[in-house]
Every structure is written in structure tokens, then in C-alpha cells.
Amino acid sequence: MNALMAVLLILTAISGLGVVFSRQAIYSALSLVLTVGLLAVVFLVLNAQFLFVVQLIVYAGAVVVLFIFIIALLDPAAEERPRLTDPRLLLGVLAIAGICTAVYIAASDGITYDTACTTQSASCMHAYAVGGAADWTDFTERPAADPYNTFGFPENAVNRAGNVQTVANQLFHTYVLPFEITSLLLLVAAIGAVYLTRRTHTGVRRLPPAGEMVMDGPGEDD
Amino acid sequence: MLSQAMFPWILLTAAYLFSLGALGVLIRRNPLVVFMSIELMLNAVNLALVGYSSFLSSEEGQVFAFMVIVVAAAEVVVGLGLLTRVFSIGRELDVDDLDELKR
């Protein structure tokens, strides 16, 4: 599982390069499909089965298809690839390297958690309650050799509760108000998209070129 | 089974994807690719959230990642609507050219 995760992370990193550095927008979109699909598998390995499905449906199924539709519709021209000696690109690559180094160092050394659950702390008990463990004895049933070998939930706890059930439990109890607000967000986004792409009676309005642009209200026809 | 030593690498990949997306937003001129880079950044945040969720044995990170996916979908709908609008009024698709708000 470790090797699988390493391969997935490396492939994700490479396909992410394709999104940013492809000359044609359609290749960026296809690299985005690959990145999103690989991240979905990463979610699966991380025991987030619900998000695996949501990621595939929403991103690969809706967002990227929308991107490809718009690319086919607008047919944007290919861009020049930035030269490798461009100082701005070098600065960006240096910034990426610095951020990655800082995060890796912080994640390896700087953060300490009670992951071994050596004490019966509240967070450890909470984790096992969410995972479906009945009481503390379930918690101590783990094999002694590699006590945290499952990276999160012990397998039996996951299988007992189920990822969708536990996520739904959080989503519809603790976070029910934010969940309802997302429905409002989607409604506003849909109305905004309809408003932006609507046609006026006289057909498509033509705005003057950027230099002599006059700011009109959105409802007026030229 | 996934060992705990993988966790810093997951965070590292998330940081890498996020900064790569930020670089794409800064250096690309096609607004479609800029949107895709923003999607990459949102996905990187999702990866960090799910990694922490799995690492800390808590479902809350997955709930937040779900919210991020919803926001990303809404953002793409509005952004691509804007782009088709910009294109239909006869403007070229270039983020350096679309600077009316600076005037």
C-alpha cells in the first residue's frame, strides 16, 4: 500500500505539470482529468471512499467535461511555452521548491500528535467512536507489532461503520447548516451563469474595444 | 497497509500541487488554463484535508473536502459563463487583455 501511494503521488505530481505547462488548453484539460482521477484513487487509499466517488462524478464527470466543452466552443489559440531561462519562471520554480521543502520539514519534524494513542485521550476515543468501535476494548484489540499500521481507522472499525455513513453522520448533524448553505451557493451560481450567458432581444451585444470602453449597465441594449 | 511515514509525503504533494497551481495562475495567459490551475489548487487542498482526516482518524476533513468540491463546481460554472460572455462580445481570451477593472 505504501508503494501504491508513492506511485500515485509521483504520477499526480507529473500530471500536475501537464496542466500548467501544456501549450494547448485541451492538453491541460486532459492532464487535469488524469490528475483528478489519480487524486480520487489517493482518496480511496486514504479510506475516503465517499470522496473518491464524489471526486470522480463532480470533477471528471462534470467540471472537466464543462472545460472541454468550452475549449471546443471557444477554440483558444496555443500559447508559447515560457523559456526555461525566463527569470520569472525560475523564481516560480524556486518558490515551489521552497514551499515543498518547508512543508515536508514541518510535516516530518514539527508536528506531533498522539497518534499512538498511548493515553486514553478524548480525541482517540472520539476517533474510535466515529469509526464504530463500541468501547475502549475494541481499541486495544489491535495487533501489537505495528499498532498504527492502518493509517487512521483500523480496518474492522471502518467495515463496521462505513465511510458513507460516518461522513453523512457528520454532514447531517454537526455540519447541517453549512450543508444547507451550499444549496444556496449552488442556486446563486446557477442563476449567475444563466444571467451571464443570456441573450438580449437584439442578439449578442457588441462592446467597443478595450480602449474606448464605456461602462454601461448590464440591462441596456446598444 | 499505509504507514504513518507516508503522511509527510502526502502533505508534500499537496503543497507541491498548490504552488504549481499558483504558478500556473501567475504565468499562463489563457483564462481557461488559469481556471484549471485554480482547480488544481483546490484539489491540492482537498488532498491535504483528506490526508489529515485519515491521519487523525476524523471524518471532519472529508466533510470540509466535500464543501470545497461544491465551491469548486460553483466557481467553474460562473467562471466559464463569464468566459463565454467575454468571448461572445468579441474579445480575445487573454488575461493580460482583460483589464477593464483597472481603468
B85-to-A116, A197, A222, B81, B91 alpha-carbon distances in Å? 55, 6, 16, 6, 9
- B8-36: average pLDDT: 93
Could you tell me if A120 and A137 are in contact, meaning their C-beta atoms sit under 8 angstroms apart? no
Asked if B59 and A6 come within 8 Å (Cβ–Cβ), the reply is no
Q: What is the DSSP letter of A81?
A: P
CA pair distance B8, A109, nearest whole angstrom: 9
Q: Which amino acid is at A159?
A: N
CA pair distance B71, B52, nearest whole angstrom: 20
Could you tell me if A19 and A79 are in contact, meaning their C-beta atoms sit under 8 angstroms apart? no
Using pLDDT thresholds of 50, 70 and 90, give the confidence band for residue B86.
confident
Q: Shortest Cα distance from B82 to chain A (angstroms)? A: 6
What ipTM did this prediction achieve? 0.93
DSSP readout, A127-176? Answer: HHHHTT--SHHHHTTS-SSSTTTTSSS-HHHHHHH-HHHHHHHIIIIITH
Asked if B8 and A108 come within 8 Å (Cβ–Cβ), the reply is yes
pTM of the model: 0.79
* Strand, helix or coil for residue A125: helix
Asked if A100 and B63 come within 8 Å (Cβ–Cβ), the reply is no
Q: Is B25 on the interface with A (CB under 8 A)?
A: no
Q: Report pLDDT digits (tens) over A33-50.
A: 999 999 999 999 888 889
A150 vs B91 pLDDT, higher one:
B91
Asked if B36 and A19 come within 8 Å (Cβ–Cβ), the reply is yes
Interface test with A, best of B20, B38, B47, B97 (most A CBs within 10 A): B20
- B38-62: average pLDDT: 88
- B55-82: average pLDDT: 88
A14 pLDDT more than 60: yes
Interface test with A, best of B45, B52, B59, B91 (most A CBs within 10 A): B59
A75 pLDDT more than 90: no
Q: Report pLDDT digits (tens) over A177-212.
A: 999 999 999 999 999 999 888 876 555 555 556 555
